[in-house]
Amino acid sequence: MLQSVFKQAVKLGLISDSPAKVERLTLPKAQAPKIDIFTKQEAAQMLAALENEDLQFQTLIQLAIFTGARRGELVALKFSDVDFEQSKITIERAAYKIKGQPLATKPPKDYETRTVTINESCIELLKMLKAEKISESQRLGSQWIGGNWVFTQWNGEMMNPMTPTKQFSKFLDRNGLKHRKFHSLRHTSATLLLYAGVNIKQVQGRLGHGDIETTNKYLHLIEEADVEAVNKLDIMLLPKSDKTEKKQGIS
């Protein structure tokens, strides 16, 4: 903002040069936030534990893992966004809540509307959830607020975007799983896709990242895992005593 103001001042001839030029500034580098993920084993445990949860929560968490969608994007899904024949969902809006104001939606971050393929398990859950919502709407009659939302409150109104965070925290506690943020499911999805050998450009498209650099931040996790893997093999196949004896024999 300051650079824009001073630049305009130079144009108007009010000052001869801008004191906010990039060349004159030494800005501290922003520290990259730590990426917290669930391991493959933890993700598998989580999916197994979901079988004891209600249908709506099962569907929410499975979609979070298998699509990498943001919390607000998941909450704002409508059944009309689901292509049951082609096993695809289109993400074109995100839910948000401002204190004192009603629930609302906006375009996804970076305006990245996207269509992603989902697995058969998620499609089956969505089919059952749709049938459940229809049944609930018939039971509640005029109390049911329409909108065709996938994830709802008791009366059919769109779910509050904070609800998944609260539900997920309680779910982890109930099942003795390490506590991580709901957003970690998105990071986990991206990392597992890269582990599986999916092209980084495809991962970028599924996550709705505006540029590839945002997706590249996951690559170092794969590199770290590779180093850890070779170290474990080294310890397993070459016990320390054997390596010491070999070194002594060589010397």
The answer to whether the CB of 192 falls within 8 A of the CB of 40 is yes
Answer whether residue 248 shows pLDDT above 70. no
pLDDT in tens, 176-224: 999 999 999 999 998 888 888 888 888 888 888 877 877 888 877 766 6
Answer whether residue 243 shows pLDDT above 80. no
Which domains does the chain possess?
40-180 (1.10.443.10)
Helix (H) or strand (E) holding 224: helix 219-237
pLDDT, position 211 = 77
The whole-number average pLDDT for the span 225-240 is 65
User: Which of these, 134, 150, 35, 132, lies nearest to 93 by C-alpha position?
Assistant: 150
Answer whether residue 225 shows pLDDT above 60. no
The band of 34, judged by pLDDT with boundaries at 50, 70 and 90, is confident
Answer whether residue 141 shows pLDDT above 90. yes
Q: Could you give the CA distance from residue 61 to residue 182 in angstroms, rounded to a whole number?
A: 9
Q: Could you give the CA distance from residue 22 to residue 37 in angstroms, rounded to a whole number?
A: 36
pLDDT, position 238 = 75
Answer whether residue 167 shows pLDDT above 60. yes
pLDDT, position 245 = 53
Q: Could you give the CA distance from residue 151 to residue 128 in angstroms, rounded to a whole number?
A: 13
pLDDT, position 33 = 67
